């Protein structure tokens, strides 16, 4: 199915009544425009004679009335079209965002945020402009061309045929223009998305940019992306420069033919002066649609290019989704099992035949070198991904057989790099339960050792956090994320290195709080600190995607792994800083 057909089917569903009304109003405006030249013809041929004053007055009143009606109807058409266009844009944008919510983490790992923002805003706006306005213009211009051609043939067939000679040439030029312009406009939309991605990434990573003093390098990267838009727009402008003036000039040939040949017909008394004036008026009505042809072609091609990008996004299939037969997960006791689980990111095998049982109320610490699959194992419990082989179950229920909502509302997650929203502290903590009382919010904050620092904030729990929690320290963000997870009182808790960014005193308080939860819920802890490992009932030692040891903390040699992992992390940080310094020197 063509992009245009898919766009109209998907995006105009439910809007046809408004679009039809807009079209009727537009055609009425066109009809009023067609009446005026005919009234002018009658006026010149019949009312400009002695004793015809009443007829002249009536015709002039008719011309003024037709003009006023045309103005009112045109205003109504613009109001209706504007409402339809805005509704289309709103619904398409909502549909795109809703679809983005269904896509799995694998999609976001291979997609740039700026690209997604560009498709959700700029491309959707281009689609709206065409479907809300462009379609109406195309239909009314075609109606004008058809009606005027018929009227011209009625007025003077020979003159009509001569004056319409440039039309086939105009259509050929418009076709060539369209074919050349489409790929360039598609490229422009892509370049705009790339620039949005560059800007979004640089603004998000401003701390790192300033820390390594690489502002000049990032400015160059932004300037290069901006320059690519400039050059591509120049290509489009060059194409328009070659074809749009030609499309504007060709209709003028018809006027030349009318003045020369039509004037001769009037002189030879083979055509009345009124008919010639009306003929000229009707051809002028043709000139505007024909001159608009270039803009409409450009407009349509941009919309189709944007539509392709929007549809490409909507065609993305969620890799993790509810089955039609999925059931709500019953009240969770917390028994988690991995049955010979294998998982890969592309060609990179991360988990290889993992079999593991975590009993209800048990706290398990996952320990191992970087890249061994600890976080992936924890994320499979939340069903952020589905295993390639094997199954993950909770209380005997395969996670693929239960609804995602019921599963994730049974699990509290605290990530290694917690994300906070630009909301108040209170709203961030009760994000998973917007109706939670202030008492529950405060209790969760105390359990996460966050209450004291929250009270010290300017507005306490009502203090609005900056974007991504940038106004807070890493430890404060982590404690708020822990409070957010504890608020929903989940039977299962997943902690992905939840104490990595806190000081020793705060870590002790968090560990004490978590220690108080032992036995009350099942906990899977991705551990990088000794205190976190010692919190566990059992340590699972991972290496190269396999379980190599399992047992109580005092029976598994996990200390050496943590020391080695910390040393490797320090070496990576030093190497990254060294590379950034070399780039700065070379620039």
- Structural class in CATH, domain 417-489: alpha beta
**For the ranges 38-47, 190-199, 202-211, the one whose mean pLDDT is highest:** 38-47
* Topology classification of domain 3-314: ABC transporter transmembrane region fold (1.20.1560)
State residue 398's pLDDT score.
92
Mean pLDDT of 349-354: 88
Residue 352 has φ and ψ, to the nearest 5°, of -135, 95
Handedness of CA 545, 549, 554, 560 (dihedral sign): negative
Query: Does residue 587 have a pLDDT over 50?
Result: no
pLDDT for residue 421 is more than 90? no
Average pLDDT over residues 91-96: 84
More confident residue, 40 or 247: 40
**Domain ranges in the chain?**
3-314, 323-410+492-587, 417-489
What is the structure's pLDDT at 513? 62
- DSSP assignment of 519-530: TTBEEEEE--SH
pLDDT in tens, 559-579: 767 666 666 655 565 665 556
Span 147-189, pLDDT tens digits = 888 888 888 888 888 887 887 787 778 778 777 877 887 788 7
Q: 324 pLDDT exceeds 60? A: yes
Residue 304: closest CA among 2, 1, 103, 4: 4
Per-residue pLDDT at 581 exceeds 60: no
In the prediction, which pLDDT does 500 show? 60
Same fold flag, 323-410+492-587 and 417-489: yes
Please name the CATH architecture into which domain 323-410+492-587 falls. Answer: 3-Layer(aba) Sandwich (3.40)
**pLDDT tens-digit series, residues 468-525:** 666 777 778 888 888 888 888 888 888 887 666 556 566 666 666 666 566 567 888 8
254 vs 262: CA distance, rounded Å: 11
Average pLDDT of the residues in 396-407 = 90
pLDDT for residue 115 is more than 60: yes
Find, among 521, 513, 447, 519, the residue nearest to 484 by Cα: 447
Please tell me which residue, 303 or 294, carries the higher pLDDT value: 303
**pLDDT, tens digit (0-9, with 9 covering 90-100), for 60-85:** 888 888 889 889 998 998 888 888 88
Per the model's pLDDT, the better-predicted residue between 463 and 2 turns out to be 463
- The angle formed by the CA atoms of residues 458, 496 and 559, to the nearest 5 degrees, is 115
Mean pLDDT comparison of 199-208, 291-300, 335-344, highest-scoring range: 335-344
Lowest mean pLDDT among 22-26, 173-177, 366-370, 409-413: 173-177
Q: pLDDT digit string (tens) for 444-480? A: 888 888 888 888 888 888 988 876 666 777 778 888 8
For 354, the token pair is 């993992």
Top pLDDT among 48 and 376 is at 376
Residue 338: which pLDDT band, with cuts at 50, 70 and 90? very high
pLDDT, position 154: 86
- The segment with the largest mean pLDDT, out of 110-114, 163-167, 217-221, 395-399, is 395-399
DSSP letter (8 states) at residue 350: E
Is the confidence at residue 112, as pLDDT, over 80? no
**b/e per residue, 340-370, with b = 16+ CB within 10 A?**
ebebbeeeeebbbebebebebbbbbbbbbee
Give residues with Cβ within 8 angstroms of 283, minimum separation 6: 148, 152, 163, 254, 255, 258
pLDDT score of 314 more than 70: yes
Mean pLDDT check: name the lowest of 423-437, 531-545, 563-577: 563-577
Please answer whether residues 258 and 265 qualify as being in contact, where contact means their C-beta atoms are separated by less than 8 angstroms: no
Task: Identify which of 132, 139, 154 has the alpha carbon closest to the alpha carbon of residue 303.
Answer: 132
In the chain, % of residues over pLDDT 90: 6
Is the pLDDT assigned to residue 298 strictly greater than 60? yes
Instruction: Quickly state the pLDDT bin for 109 (edges 50, 70, 90).
Output: confident
The strand ranges marked E within 170-304 are none
Residue 342 has pLDDT above 90, yes or no: yes
Concatenated DSSP letters of 458-471: TTGGGPBPPGGGTT
298 CB neighbour count, 10 Å cutoff: 20
Q: Are 313 and 96 in contact, with CB atoms under 8 Å apart?
A: yes
For the record, the structure tokens of 483 come out as 């409070």
Mean pLDDT of 81-108: 83
The pLDDT, as a whole number, for residue 357 is 92
Q: What is the dihedral of CA 285, 291, 294, 299, to 10 degrees?
A: -50
488 DSSP assignment:
T
């Amino acid at each position: 199915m063509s992009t245009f057909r898919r766009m109209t089917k998907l995006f105009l569903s439910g809007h046809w009544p408004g679009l039809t009304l807009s079209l009727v109003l537009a055609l009425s405006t066109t009809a009023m425009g067609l009446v005026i030249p005919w009234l002018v013809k009658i006026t010149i041929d019949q009312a400009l004679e002695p004793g015809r004053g009443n007829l002249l007055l009536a015709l002039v009143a008719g011309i003024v009335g037709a003009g006023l009606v045309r103005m009112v109807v045109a205003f109504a058409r613009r109001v209706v079209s504007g409402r339809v266009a805005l509704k289309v844009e709103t619904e398409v944008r909502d549909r795109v965002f809703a679809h983005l919510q269904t896509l799995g983490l694998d999609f976001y790992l291979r997609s740039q945020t700026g690209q997604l923002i560009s498709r959700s805003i700029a491309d959707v706006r281009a689609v709206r402009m065409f479907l809300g306005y462009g379609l109406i213009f195309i239909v009314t211009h075609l109606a004008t061309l058809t009606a005027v051609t018929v009227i011209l043939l009625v007025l003077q067939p020979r003159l009509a045929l001569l004056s319409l000679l440039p039309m086939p040439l105009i259509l050929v030029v418009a076709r060539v223009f369209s074919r050349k312009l489409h790929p360039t406009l598609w490229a422009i939309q892509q370049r705009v998305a790339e620039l949005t991605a560059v800007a979004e990434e640089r603004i998000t990573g401003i701390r790192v940019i300033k820390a390594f003093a690489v502002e000049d390098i990032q400015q160059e990267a932004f300037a290069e992306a901006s320059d690519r838009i400039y050059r591509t727009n120049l290509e489009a402008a060059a194409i328009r420069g070659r074809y749009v003036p030609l499309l504007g000039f060709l209709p003028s040939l018809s006027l030349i033919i009318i003045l020369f040949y039509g004037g001769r017909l009037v002189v030879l008394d083979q055509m009345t002066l009124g008919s010639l004036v009306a003929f000229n008026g009707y051809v002028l009505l043709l000139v505007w649609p024909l001159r608009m042809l270039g803009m409409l072609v450009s407009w349509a091609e941009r919309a189709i290019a944007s539509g392709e990008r929007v549809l490409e996004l909507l065609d993305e299939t969620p890799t993790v989704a509810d089955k039609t037969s999925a059931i709500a997960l019953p009240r969770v006791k917390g028994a988690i099992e991995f049955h010979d689980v294998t998982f890969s990111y592309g060609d990179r095998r991360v988990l290889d035949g993992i079999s593991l049982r975590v009993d209800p109320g048990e706290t398990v610490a996952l320990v191992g070198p970087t890249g061994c699959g600890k976080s992936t194992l924890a994320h499979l419990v939340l069903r952020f991904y589905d295993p390639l082989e094997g199954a993950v179950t909770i209380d005997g229920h395969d996670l693929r057989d239960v609804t995602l909502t019921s599963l994730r509302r049974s699990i509290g997650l605290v990530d290694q790099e917690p994300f906070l929203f630009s909301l108040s502290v209170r709203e961030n903590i009760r994000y998973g339960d917007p109706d939670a009382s202030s008492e529950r919010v405060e209790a969760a904050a105390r359990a996460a050792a966050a209450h004291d620092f929250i009270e010290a904030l300017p507005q306490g729990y009502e203090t609005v956090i900056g974007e991504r929690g940038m106004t807070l320290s890493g430890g404060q963000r982590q404690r708020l994320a822990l409070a957010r997870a504890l608020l929903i009182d989940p039977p299962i808790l997943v902690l992905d290195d939840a104490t990595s960014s806190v000081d020793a005193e705060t870590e002790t308080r968090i560990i004490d709080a978590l220690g108080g939860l032992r036995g009350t819920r099942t906990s899977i802890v991705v551990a990088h600190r000794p205190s976190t490992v010692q919190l566990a009932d059992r340590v699972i030692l991972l290496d190269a995607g396999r379980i190599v040891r399992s047992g109580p903390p005092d029976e598994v040699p996990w200390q050496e792994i943590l020391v080695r992992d910390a040393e490797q992390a320090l070496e990576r940080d030093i190497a990254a800083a060294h590379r950034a310094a070399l780039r700065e020197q070379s620039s």
